[in-house]
Structure 1
Amino acid sequence: MKKKTWIIISVISLVIIMISVSVYREVLAKGPSVETTEMKEEEISSLLMIPGTIKLEEEQIIYASPEKGELKELLVEEGQEIKSGTVVATLHNPQLELELEQNKLSIESANLRINQLDKQLKQLKDKEKTLTEQLGKGEAKKQLDPEYEQLEMEKKLANLELKQTTLQKNMIDKRQSELEIKSTIDGVVLTTKKPDTTSLENSMAEPIVHIGKLDALIANGLLSEYDTLKVSTGQKVILRSDALPEQEWQGEIAKISLLPEQNQTALQSGNQAVQYPVTMKLTGDIKALKPGFQVIMEIETDKKQANVLSINALHDDGDQPYVFIIKDGKASKKNVKTGITSGTKIEILEGLSKEDKVIIDSPDSIKDGMEVTVK
């Protein structure tokens, strides 16, 4: 009984093995299954990608100014919306008040001196009339000319003194107006902080008021000297952030600096690397973005009609890019010359025709001349 059971098991096993070998040979004969695509003529654009930082387009940063005066009062709060011209803080300067009082006295003194000289000149004219009646006009003039000259000279000096003190008053008035610190933009108060008065350095370390316009953002980045040749103002930009991977924002190049920002470390090492600051102005809905966000900026540098292929069809072993096409049921390797890349597409300059069936997402095992089955 046991012998019969073993014979049955052996027969069944042999049948299974034969079926498996048959299936394996059939699959192997057909080769691996592959998908194909064709080269198409489409619009393609080249993208330049550079890192950048989101910043406020308009902001006002106010620091303590000990040379102008001590902070007397902060008149705004964080989060407060303000208009241009709003007084945000006032300063106190006792020395300036003393100078103002001294200036008032100087002006008053100069005016009194001028009035006194005018009275003396009037008295001298009366005296001239009397002498003219007694001695004649020529003799009277001869006697009084030295006094006239003296008084006129003193009056000129008094007028110069008055002019000088008036100029001083204008300067003091200007300094007094600076005791009221005003907003220069419409915006939101981002931070307020009273200065640390323990030292001059500490008092100027942080701003006392920071105002920004949150509905106008820009992105700043750096271009290499070669990349500056590819871009110009007005070009469209797409921005993406790792903090918000599902979103993207539109913008355009607003400014490319004419002067480079040199990397001092590179200069010291002898590598004259230069980079040019570039500014992008953001458009559309930017509520999700905040100043300080790190973004990747995609700049469209070239757009044209070209023969394109899915980048998933391309192979590159470091020598020359190539693809596999279907030829007589087999995979045939063809070298190609490529152009610009845009997203999942790449420009094909040479090596393919539009009739070629190109294998995409091919398995690693595929070889030139291998039989394949098209899905």
Structure 2
Amino acid sequence: MSDIESRSANRRRRRRIWYLVLLALFIGGASWLAINRPWELKPASVEIEVVAKGPASRILAINGRVKPTEQVEVSSTVSGRILSVSVAEGQQVSQGTPLLVVDDTQQRATVAQVRSQLNGAQAQLDKAQVDLERAEALTATVSQRALGDSRLAVRTAHEEVDRLTALLAQAEDLLAQYVVKAPLDGTILSRGADAGQVVSSTTPLFLIADMASLHAEASVDELYASEMRRGLSVVSRPTGHSGVIEGEVIYVSPSVDATTGGRLVRVSLPGAGEANLPVGLTVMLNIVVEARDDAITIPRQALVAADQPAVFLIEDGRAVLTPVQYIDWPSDRLIVTRGLEGGERLIVDSKKVRADGALVAVRE
């Protein structure tokens, strides 16, 4: 066979192969079209739940921190150099326990001076009283003027003794303030004083707290601030503790902080002192804002993103857009107040539905 005839035979073979490939593609495409019918709308596969009434709660979950119910910042009422500090951070103290001593040398000298003056005034009073008694005994020979002078001297001496007695009491009271004492039974949370330090009445020295009585403090966002009130039940879980503490809201601030947009609430922590919870520990607070025995709830993802709240129900194989009213709350499930009665078949995820009236099929 010549080269020309050979090349012609090869071209015919390749042409037959291409014809066979195109035929296979045509048959495959026709079969896919016949089976899948893309021109026909297919029902969307959706998951549903049957709407039912039951118990439901609105719970606000926020983080708070452990705080002592009673704490006092201790400062010195006098100025001077600290001579000694007798307590350490974390130490438990009783009311009246000496915490530190400020140098009282000058004040002691003042007390001694006033006491000396008082002793002198008392001696003058004693002498004036003796002179008055003598004058009164010699009334017949002593003039009324001399008798009056003796009585005036006694009154003047009395007044001086009273003045110096009050001055001494004031000086001794000030001297006692050079020893700073604990104002309550508690634990030293912080210490800002060391020997040799010069302090004044504005210098914070200690923070003392009663660790037997603790509560939690938290800031509630202003979106939910109006829902807060005293007496609401709270389930608290301290960080690092497996157990929970059941308490209640014991304080609600009358105002919202303009800087943070939060409203301060305090929650009781019964038994927290015995549990040895440290001040500042994070506590998860679940505040039960509302509890209903017969409520209808839906998943949040069932809501349709539209101008008015609605959900999709299934009726006769189609999605039916149904308006609802609900309580907006930071939760995966929402309480519906209008639009559903119970027994309806609700499409769990509204994003699976193309539009109102679309064909849908329940996912098995």
TM-score surpassing 0.5?
A: yes
Residues 219 and 282, structure 1, Cα contact 8 Å, conserved in 2:
no
Match of 2:204 in 1: 207
Deviation per CA, 1:138-175: give whole Å up to 9, x if none.
xx17x443222211111111112111211122222221
Query: Using the alignment, how far apart are the partners of 1:290 and 1:161 within structure 2?
Result: 54
Q: Which residue of 1 aligns with 2:134?
A: 123
Alignment of 1:53-132 (within 5 A): 54-65=66-77, 67-128=78-139
Alignment of 1:317-356 (within 5 A): 317-339=305-327, 341=329, 343-356=331-344
Post-superposition Cα deviations, 1:328-347, rounded to whole Å, max 9, x if no partner, equal 12222212222354732222
What is the CA–CA distance in structure 2 between the aligned matches of 1:222 and 1:109, rounded to whole Å?
Answer: 67
Contact 2:309 2:324 (C-alpha < 8 Å) held by counterparts: yes
Closer, same or farther: CA 345–79 of 1 in aligned 2, 3 Å: same
| Residue 233 of structure 2 is aligned to residue 236 of structure 1 | yes
The 3-state SS of whatever aligns with 2:83 is strand
CA distance in 2, matches of 1:292, 1:207: 23
Equivalent residue in structure 2 for 1:357, among 340, 345, 357: 345
Matched, 1:176 2:175: yes
Measured on the aligned residues, the alpha-carbon RMSD in Å equals: 4.1
The CA deviation at 1:213 is 3.8
C-alpha distance after superposition, 1:206-240 (max 9, x if no partner)? 63222234452330536869945x43322224568
Quick one: distance in 1 between partners of 2:132 and 2:328? Answer: 93
User: Unmatched 5+ residue regions in structure 2?
Assistant: 1-12
The residue that corresponds to 2:291 in the other structure is 303
Matched, 1:281 2:280: no
- What is the distance in 2 between the residues matched to 1:117 and 1:239? 75
Corresponding position of 1:256: 252
Gap change, CA 1:172 and 1:358, over 3 Å in 2: same
User: What's the secondary structure of 1:320's corresponding residue?
Assistant: coil
1:43 equivalent among 49, 55, 62 = 55
Scaled by the length of structure 2, what TM-score is found? 0.76
Q: 1:43 corresponds to which letter in structure 2?
A: P
How many residues are paired up?
Answer: 347
- Contact kept, 8 Å, 2:62 with 2:218, in 1: the verdict is no
Q: Distance in 2 between matches of 1:261 and 1:30?
A: 53
Match of 1:291 in 2: 280
Q: Distance in 2 between matches of 1:19 and 1:179?
A: 102
Q: Which moved more, 1:284-293 or 1:32-41?
A: 284-293
Question: What is the percentage of aligned positions where both structures have the same residue?
Answer: 19
The 8 Å contact of residues 45 and 340 in structure 1, kept in 2 or not, is answered as no
3-state SS of the aligned residue for 1:121? Answer: helix
Q: SS at the partner of 1:162?
A: helix
In the alignment, is the contact (CA less than 8 A) between 1:56 and 1:291 conserved in 2?
A: no
Shift of 1:17: 4.4
Which segment is superposed worse, 39-48 or 180-189? 39-48
Query: Measured at CA, do residues 188 and 18 of structure 1 come closer, stay the same or move farther in structure 2, by a change above 3 Å?
Result: farther
Per the alignment, residue 136 of structure 1 pairs with none
Q: CA deviation at 1:75?
A: 0.7
Matches within 5 A, 1:181-192: 181-192=180-191
More deviation, 158-167/3-12: 3-12
Contact 1:68-1:178 within 8 A present in 2 as well: no
Q: TM (normalized to structure 1)?
A: 0.74
Q: Which of these residues, 214, 217, 221, is aligned with residue 215 of structure 2?
A: 217
Shift of 1:195: 6.5
